[in-house]
Amino acid sequence: MDIEREYREAVKYAEKNLASAALFAFNSNVDFICRINSGFKAEGFPQELMPLVESIKRGEAREFKITKHAAEWIAESFSWREKRIGGQAGIMANAAAALGVKSFAYAAALSEEQEKLFSKKVVVFGGAKGSPSRHFIFEFKKGTVFGGAAIPSSNRVIASYDPANFKLKISKKFALESARIAPFVECAVISGFHNLDDRIAADRIATTARFVQEWRNRNPSIRVHLELGDFANKRVLRKTLDTLLPCINSVGMNEMEAEDVIVAMGMHESEMEELADEVVVHEARGSMIYGKNKRASIVKAALFGHALAAFKAENGKDASIAALKKFVENRHEFFEFRGVPAIKVEPRFTVGLGDTFAAGFVLVK
């Protein structure tokens, strides 16, 4: 496999074979970003945040739901110099818009602060005006000394206090608008279920399944992708899979989320093939593809997704097609990986790279 050539061909293919319009729901928020350096101390964190500290020490990509008290402590204790659109739906919508795709997104509580962070090219359906949905993100680089030892890999951990997305309330306006645009939308991404409270999860997930059926009634050819997340409650993960897998075309997750899926479903890795028509497990080094009825272009879709994520990691912004074509012309280092290998870059930015990959993967026809 001439991987350099494969990447160039994948971007050229995507240029002519991207979805013209896409819908992204349901989670978006404001990301507050703090970069950890060797001056950071691992001591002094409240007990509630110690799992976050341990994940940083291990170089893990994890997300933790926190209390209002912990959120207030974090907000006051660190310098938050950068704000970006966050949440799977928000990140993917902006990535799609940068590629020239007509992009629609849902925000459960659309604050003025959050609205400004969406690309002007994204049509945002707001559930209601409200206080900002804030996620505090700690980025770190491999080799940074934290807690007396070098962090083994570049990554990020997220501390989320986000009542709007934890409830994932879906507005009647979105129900009407998403049905109206469904005939013109080629693909839709549903996400955000990992934050749900167990007491309301079944209702919200069932409501989503009804949405998907309504979209299909209006557009039988629409492709629907489910992007998972870091489920703290494995019962909610199982409810999500049992209810939504029968009504979607593809499902995506990172390598740690894949381990959770295998445990939740009581299956072996080899049975990933049976989860959906397309299953993609993505990580920094590459992706593994499974499924019962895969697109002929699925490897190109994965390569395109990795190219998008690598560009964002290196440049800190979303790529246009023109910028991506130039980017892949000068790439000569790739990870050794048993599936689809990712491009090696020196990351300036680690937040939302899996979601950026997923956007590229989904948008390629």
Statement: residue 355 has pLDDT above 90? yes
Does residue 77 lie within any of the structural domains?
A: no
Does residue 242 lie within any of the structural domains?
A: yes
The mean pLDDT value for 209-223 works out to: 97
Statement: residue 139 has pLDDT above 80? yes
Statement: residue 215 has pLDDT above 90? yes
- For residues 211, 212, 214, 218, the Cα torsion angle rounded to the nearest 10 degrees is 140
**pLDDT one-digit tens code per residue, 157-200:** 999 988 888 888 888 889 999 999 999 999 999 999 998 989 99
Q: What is the extent of the structural domain holding 343?
A: 3-29+86-131+164-363
Does residue 137 lie within any of the structural domains?
A: no
**pLDDT one-digit tens code per residue, 65-106:** 899 899 989 988 888 878 899 999 999 999 999 999 999 999
The mean pLDDT value for 99-127 works out to: 91
Does residue 51 lie within any of the structural domains?
A: no
Statement: residue 107 has pLDDT above 70? yes
What CATH number does the domain containing 204 carry? 3.40.1190.20
What is the reported pTM?
0.91
The number of distinct structural domains making up the chain is 1
Beta strand 278-283 with 145-146 is unpaired
Backbone angles phi, psi at 140, to 5 degrees: -145, 155
According to DSSP, the residues that pair with 146 across neighbouring strands are: 149
Does residue 227 lie within any of the structural domains?
A: yes
Does residue 279 lie within any of the structural domains?
A: yes
Q: Decide: 237 and 260 in contact? Cβ < 8 Å.
A: yes
Cα 170 to Cα 155: distance, rounded to the nearest angstrom: 31
pLDDT of 19: 98
Closest alpha carbon to 264 in 235, 228, 225: 235
Statement: residue 243 has pLDDT above 80? yes
Does residue 108 lie within any of the structural domains?
A: yes
Does residue 177 lie within any of the structural domains?
A: yes
pLDDT of 253: 98
Closest alpha carbon to 258 in 223, 293, 230, 226: 230
pLDDT of 81: 78
